[in-house]
Structure 1
C-alpha cells in the first residue's frame, strides 16, 4: 500500500474521532520509536473504544479543575523537584494517609487529598 493510500485511510478514520482521542493517538505515535505511517495506522486500527474509565493521561488539575496534560519531561521535572524538596526538608506525606485517601476515592466518604 502506498503512503498516499495510507494517509487517506488515516485521514478518513481520524475525521470521525473526538479531538482528544486524536491527540492521544498522535502523542502515542510521536513518542514511540517508530515513525512509520503503517505503525500509526496500526495504532488507529487497534485502539480500544475509549471510555472515561479507561482513558488515563498523566497531568495535573489546575485551580479551575481543568486537566492539564504534562509532557514526560515535565513529569520528570516535577518528580525531581519533589524528591529534592523531600531530601532538603525530610517532610512528606505518610504512606498510610495516602493509602486511606486512595481507598476512599469513589466512595460516599471520600477523604481530602493529604498534603
Structure 2
C-alpha cells in the first residue's frame, strides 16, 4: 500500500471519531511510536472496532449492514402504510411464527422471515 493510500484510509477513519478520541489516539501514537503510520492505522482500527462493539452493546444499528436510516416521520409513515395494508387485506403473521423466527436469529438454524 502506498503512503498516499494509507493516509487516505487514516483520514477516512478519523472522520468517524470524536475530537477527544482523535486526541487520545494521537497522544498514544506520539508516545509509543517513531511516527510510523502503519502503527497509527492499527490504533485507529482498534478504536473503530471498540466503538462499534460499544454501540452494539447499547442497541445501536451497525450501519455497515446496509440498514436504511429513516427519520421518525418516515418510520411513522411506513407503520401507517403497513396498518392500512393489514386493514385492507386482513392478513397477518401469527405471533408464534414471528417469535419462532426471532428466536432463530443469530443461530446456526436461522429461519427466513415469515410473510
* TM-score, normalization by structure 1: 0.49
Report the structure, 1 or 2, having the larger strand content.
1
Report the structure, 1 or 2, having the larger helix content.
2
Query: Which has the greater radius of gyration?
Result: 2
* TM-score, normalization by structure 2: 0.49
